[in-house]
Amino acid sequence: MKYGIYKSDLMQSGINDMWFANRIDKGIVYASYFDPLPVKLIALVLTVIECCIDEWATGVREDIKFAAVSYSPVYLVHLESLRRFEERTAAYKLLGKICDNLLDVARFHAGVNPINAGVTVEGFADDVFDDAMREYEFETQAARGEDSERVDVGDD
């Protein structure tokens, strides 16, 4: 269970559903625009959440048009709050960590690895190359009809 400022499950759900629904969604296809997760995107999601809350203000859902005229002031307040939060918590880099976490979870939701998963890829050991050369030599000799003894290529 997430708790604390800017850690709402609603934010994560909105990001997941809007840009990271699957492996071919916008957040994956246009990954360079989402890494790091833009602060403006978080402000937008928070503004949409406010619109959804406004739709239920009377206890019965009323359809409210999400328009720039109505919600740009709300967006700007969220954007300024995020900037102030980033400034006040700069020593801990909290906003960056929150953005990284939101992005990692969104990518997982889409079915791809997080960008900074820390996955290391090891190269092939020399014996794999030696085996490949022996296999090639064996196939080449067999194709020419030569003796099918394997050639020793390594420094064994």
**Domain limits, the chain:** 9-110, 122-156
Give the tens place of pLDDT for each residue, 40-71: 999 999 999 999 999 999 999 999 999 999 99
Q: What is the CA radius of gyration of the chain?
A: 27
Query: What pLDDT is stored for residue 65 in this prediction?
Result: 95
Alpha-carbon gap, residue 81 to 97, rounded angstroms: 17
Maximum alpha-carbon separation in the chain: 89
Query: What pLDDT is stored for residue 152 in this prediction?
Result: 54
Confidence label for 121 from pLDDT (cuts 50, 70 and 90):
low
Q: What are phi and psi of 52, to 5 degrees?
A: -65, -40
Of 58 and 133, the one with more pLDDT: 58
Residues 125, 129, 134, 135: is their CA dihedral positive or negative? positive
Tell me the average pLDDT of the chain: 87
- Kindly report whether the global pTM for this prediction surpasses the value 0.75: no
Of 26 and 151, the one with more pLDDT: 26
Of 123 and 63, the one with more pLDDT: 63
Query: What pLDDT is stored for residue 155 in this prediction?
Result: 54
Query: What pLDDT is stored for residue 113 in this prediction?
Result: 86
Alpha-carbon gap, residue 38 to 75, rounded angstroms: 14
Alpha-carbon gap, residue 21 to 110, rounded angstroms: 5
Any idea which of 87-96, 104-113, 142-151 has the lowest mean pLDDT?
142-151
CA torsion 108-112-116-118 (nearest 10°) is 100
Q: What's the rounded mean pLDDT across residues 105-125?
A: 76
Instruction: Give yes or no for residue 150 having a pLDDT over 60.
Output: no
Q: Is residue 33 within 8 Å of residue 20, measured between CB atoms? A: no
The amino acid at residue 78 is H
Query: What pLDDT is stored for residue 1 in this prediction?
Result: 58
